[in-house]
Each structure stands twice: as structure tokens, then as C-alpha cells.
Structure 1
């Protein structure tokens, strides 16, 4: 399964383009623009599993840095600051990584 099986390629392209500048990433706006906010809980979990590159059941800090690449291979990496901000927003239990339920909450808060 690929991201374009779940989300519109056009929406992905627009959302990636909107945050092309370093330190401009806003996960709330991004999740809305890419269409993830309108998706079912099941589809949000499918997106999580695509982003969980090592299939650990968590999106760790190093994977978060590449989160935009999970949506589009030619997207940029997040800066260290953006990565830490995203981790802080999503890591509700303080274990240093984002689980599927935390990801679902992160998307729904957008």
C-alpha cells in the first residue's frame, strides 16, 4: 500500500509545497492540507504504518525527521527543530516516540 492509495497525489503535492521552507512545517496545517484529517480512523492507522519505516509499531524521532518523505519521496527532511516540535506534540506518554494511538490523536487535534 502506498500513500497515494489513501490520499490524493494532488493534495500531497500541495501540502509538501506549502512547507518547502526549512522550519515552516506545521503538522496541523499539513495533516489538513494532505486530507488526512478527513480520513477514517482506519485510514489514519494505515498512514501510520506506512510512516513506520522499521515496522516497530512506533514512529521514532529519526523516522519523524523523514515524515514528509513518507508522503512524497522528493520532499525535504524536517529540521532538528521541526522534528523535536512534532515529537513533543505527538508523544503524549513521554516515551520519546509516537505510537499509533498517539498518531491518531495528533491527526485528530489538527
Structure 2
């Protein structure tokens, strides 16, 4: 039989695990106890080369210069596995809705580098038009994968 200290220690340990809620997700990074695999806290630098990210974001620093095909090519996204492309999609899906909505598209460069600029309304609409294959006003994971594959 356990002593009250052992029992309390076990409870405290369990409580601590639940409070912090750290587990390892499918991508081997920490995630919240209540999060789904889509809630995995991963950064673009975990999936893409940091120097490629810097060059790609820098290439589109000027207003109205964004070209998603060239941007994705510079990042090397087309060469990534379908699973990695899906992970990039989930990082960009900030509200974890399963879609990248127009508002989120406007911040796509910031998804790769926090100090990047926002897309203009024109650039955002062009990206949405290129990626929204079913016309629902948002880009789903499969649409995103298709958009990357077209590069």
C-alpha cells in the first residue's frame, strides 16, 4: 500500500502533466493536451530551410509583387512530401478551421516570417482565385496541395 506522500506525489505528477498537457504529436513536437493533431505547434523552420524562407519572403517585400508560384518554388514546397505540404497548410490555417480563409491569406507571408508584410487586397484576391477551386471563398487542404503542385 502506498503512503499518503506517494499517493500525493503521484497525484501531483499527474496533475502537472495534465496542467501543462504536453504530449508528442505526429510530427514529434509538443502540443497541447486538448489539441488535435492540427493544433500541433510547429514552425515553418521545422519544415523548410530557414535561408529559403528568408530569400522567398524578401523577394516579395515590395507591395503588389507577390507571385504564389514563384514564392512556393523559392521555398522548395513542391519538392516536399504531401504530408509536409499538409503541415504547412495547417500552420497557415491560424484559426484551425480546416480552411485558409481570405483574411488568413492576407497574412500568408507572416506565416513564414513574422516580420514579413501583409499581402495587399489585390494580391490576396488573386491568391484566393488561384487556390479556391470549388468557389467556396476559402482554400482547403486539398486545394492548397493542388496550388503547390501547380508551381
Partner of 2:123: 82
Question: Alignment partner of 2:139: what SS?
Answer: strand
**In 2, Cα distance between the equivalents of 1:2 and 1:17?**
18
Deviations 1:57-91 (A, max 9, x none): 00000000000000000000000000000000000
- Which of 1 and 2 has greater Rg? 2
Q: 2:134 aligns with which of 71, 78, 93?
A: 93
1:19-30 correspondence to structure 2 within 5 Å: 19-30=60-71
**In 2, Cα distance between the equivalents of 1:48 and 1:108?**
13
**In 1, Cα distance between the equivalents of 2:52 and 2:78?**
12
Matched, 1:37 2:78: yes
Return the structure number with greater relative CO, CA threshold 8 A, min gap 6.
1
Matched, 1:12 2:53: yes
Give me the CA root mean square deviation.
0.4
TM-score, scaled relative to structure 1:
0.99
Partner of 2:43: 2
Q: How many residues are matched? A: 110
Q: Structure 1 stretches (4+) deviating beyond 2 angstroms?
A: none
Unaligned runs of 5+ in 1: none
Unaligned runs of 5+ in 2: 1-41
Matched, 1:107 2:148: yes
Question: Alignment partner of 1:7: what SS?
Answer: coil
